[in-house]
Amino acid sequence: MSQADSPTSSVRILVVDDLEPWRRQVCRMLQTGPELCVVAEAGDGLEAVQKAKELKPDLILLDIGLPDLNGIEVANRIRQSDPGAKIIFLTQHNDEDIVGTVLSAGARGYILKIDAGRELLKAVTGILGGDNFVSSGIKDGNSGKKEDAWMSCVTLRGCWSRSNRSKEVCPYTQNIAP
């Protein structure tokens, strides 16, 4: 469901997921957003890296569980060639460790697939505006609110503020106000 030739769209998006029906649903959700254009889809990690390098999309929606190359490695490779790439993970994995890993890999957002209907367009708009986004359904051991997930990261950074590891664990806390 590529709309690469759409003259009115200005935000170019690459959608990466191994399940074609899910990719199609995501593309339909994105069509309701103003000025959003899905320029390509990819069904595996190697194809995602190739299309990202070739097309240089403004935003990449990326699953973690991909054939050939997992989404975290895809993000690492894309960010090596394009450090400014805006990546949102759209996945079923509700795990704080994974969230921390993808943020360290340079992701600007993390959305649970179950929350996509409510949060995808909000996340895309926010990230394109310079914000970060974590799905409201992410568990953090307490309430599961995204503010608490960010605060957990801020707390870790505060405790490790004299360590280089703090930026590795949570590189985006400098610009986050819960």
pLDDT class of 174 with cuts at 50, 70, 90: very low
Domains of the chain: 11-138 (3.40.50.2300)
CA distance 6 to 174: 37
Comparing C-alpha atoms, which of 52, 45, 53, 55 is closest to residue 4?
55
Query: For 21-30, how does the pLDDT look when each residue is reduced to its tens digit (9 = 90+)?
Result: 999 999 999 9
Report the pLDDT value the prediction gives residue 169, as an integer from 0 to 100.
38
Average pLDDT, the chain: 79
Higher pLDDT, 55 or 96: 55
Select the highest-mean-pLDDT range: 20-29, 130-139, 164-173: 20-29
Question: Is the model's pLDDT at 99 over the cut of 60?
Answer: yes
Read off the tokens for 13: 């998006």
Task: Please tell me the pTM assigned to this model.
Answer: 0.74
Report the pLDDT value the prediction gives residue 161, as an integer from 0 to 100.
31
CA distance 53 to 21: 25
pLDDT class of 167 with cuts at 50, 70, 90: very low
Comparing C-alpha atoms, which of 106, 26, 102, 12 is closest to residue 65?
102
Question: Is the model's pLDDT at 170 over the cut of 60?
Answer: no
